[in-house]
């Protein structure tokens, strides 16, 4: 199971970081980055299966495929933003983390405009 791999990578990295911080604290960030990258690769591998499933469902239904693509893109932005924010916080750079977080939120809002617009048009059509 991949969750066992993810937890294993996380716990082993934690132990290595605790040991490294005693002798060379500047290297702890590198271990964290490597662990994060490994975990991200495992997660992205599973994410491709979810994307394929959503694409197949969209093809079989009358759901607008552009909306499915936007939802996948929004989810990706949220995951990557959270990943980057966590790395910045681990490195002690909370100011940069806050700006990345804000940038991710703005990007999600900007990308969501077509969905929001379509939803509002549908509501207006239903209203008398």
Asked, for residue 12, whether it belongs to a domain, the answer is: yes
* Nearest Cα to Cα of residue 51 among 32, 71, 21: 71
Cα–Cα distance, 101 to 109 (Å, whole number): 13
Average pLDDT estimate for 80-102 = 92
Can you give the residue range of the structural domain that contains 14? Answer: 1-47
68 with 126, same domain: the answer is yes
33 with 75, same domain: the answer is no
What ranges make up the beta strands (E) of 28-100? none
Q: What is the DSSP letter of 92?
A: T
Predicted local confidence at residue 68, as pLDDT: 83
Average pLDDT of the residues of the chain: 89
37 with 88, same domain: the answer is no
Q: Which structure tokens are listed for 3?
A: 């969750």
pLDDT digits over 31-69, tens only? 988 998 999 889 888 888 888 888 888 888 877 788 888
Cα–Cα distance, 38 to 50 (Å, whole number): 19
More confident site: 128 or 88: 88
Most confident of 24-33, 64-73, 93-102: 93-102
The CB-based long-range contact list for 86-92 (8 Å cut-off, 24+ gap) reads 86/36, 87/32, 87/33, 87/36, 90/29, 90/32, 91/29, 91/32
């Amino acid at each position: 199971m991949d969750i066992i791999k993810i937890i294993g990578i996380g716990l082993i990295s934690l132990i290595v970081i605790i040991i490294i911080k005693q002798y060379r604290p500047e290297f702890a960030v590198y271990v964290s980055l490597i662990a994060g990258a490994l975990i991200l690769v495992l997660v992205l591998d599973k994410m491709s299966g979810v994307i394929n499933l959503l694409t197949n469902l969209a093809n079989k239904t009358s759901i607008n495929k552009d909306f499915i693509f936007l939802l996948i893109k929004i989810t990706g932005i949220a995951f990557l933003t959270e990943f980057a924010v966590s790395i910045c916080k681990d490195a002690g750079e909370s100011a940069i983390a806050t700006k990345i977080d804000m940038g991710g939120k703005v990007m999600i809002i900007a990308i969501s405009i077509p969905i929001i617009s379509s939803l509002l048009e549908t509501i207006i059509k239903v209203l008398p």
